[in-house]
Chain A
Amino acid sequence: MYRNLALCAALLCCLILPGCGGGGSAGSNAATAKAVTKVQTAGLLPGGEVLGAIRITLGLPYGVTVALDPATGLPAANVVQLVGAADPTLVFQQVHYLAPTPTARGSLSFVVVNAQGFGALEYLAVQLDITPGYFPAAGDFTVSDFAVAGISNYQETTISNPTLSVEIK
């Protein structure tokens, strides 16, 4: 009897253990993880020009998604936040999410406009969900179509070497 129970336990361990492991692959981690991407807005334009608009497309690794508003099916209001805005009523944003497919990773494109211009301490925080069993690394996130415009010249400028911080929680 005890021998049979021990055998069953050993078999169960063999089934479960291989599921734990490496980055980027599916596993059995039941905890829901978050990834927070931060984009600094200061110093992106030369000559002290104050930033007023920013557009970014984030390439998301497999297993990384965004929270959707159940009523609309669109990204939830808190997915992209301008942290530290002096007057949030003058900040407008539009977010476009492309869910991953078996052949293509997901992406999140957004434009954030601050009529007063972004303050030196303001930054964009993007809240992302990590599907249980996936373990993306910071380097798996990509940035493209990174452009900004200043509140004096109103000209779109492409940022060629964007820096992005990704925090996995």
Chain B
Amino acid sequence: MIKIIVTALVMALIGLASPQVGATMTSSSYLIQRDGVTGGGLSPGTSPGYTGQGALVALPTPVTALSSPSFTSSQASPAQAALDGRNGVIDPSNTSGVPQLGDVLIVLKAAVGDLVLTPSQRFHADVAPLRNGRPDPDGKVDLGDVLLILRRVVHLVSW
């Protein structure tokens, strides 16, 4: 019980000391990098940052109190974004995590201007081209994305 209370207090302190963590994020893709952070087994400098989508940011575990917590965020480059889980799933009713026919039809309609994708849909639809078998998004949703998502749906390609 005491352990639970102490853990809760530590988490609350982290929250109070880290006002930027809860800042409003307006882009769908951010690269989170440490900025002079010490504690928690981290040291400031050149270690890789953490990528996240929207407000979902993966922090190192275990999370312990940081002496000077501070984070800066910047938009991820296309190459960085390739690693952040965009999957070609743009149909809100598709919860499988892999693209299905509905996703193809949505991106097909967008390709002729019949509908406008939301920022989140654009993010997940931008999967082409492939580099070494992995999505290497080029920052736009075009014919390449339509074709790649369709070919994944019919199991002619995977990533």
Contact = CB atoms under 8 A, between A and B. Distances in A.
Contacts of B108: 92-94, 111, 113
Nearest to A116: B156
Interface in A29-70: 52-55
Contact of A109 (B113, B129, B138, B143): B113
A148 interface: yes
Interface string B128-157: 111000000010001111111011011010
Contacts of B138: 155
A44 B128 CA distance: 20
A94 B107 CA distance: 10
B111 A154 contact: no
A77 to B, nearest CB: 15
A111 B151 contact: no
Given A52-B147, A96-B114, A154 B128 contact: yes
A95 interface: yes
Contacts of A111: 108, 111-112, 143, 146
Contacts of A155: 128-129, 138, 144
A110 B111 CA distance: 9
Contacts of B32: none
A96 B112 contact: yes
A91 to B, nearest CB: 10
A41 to B, nearest CB: 13
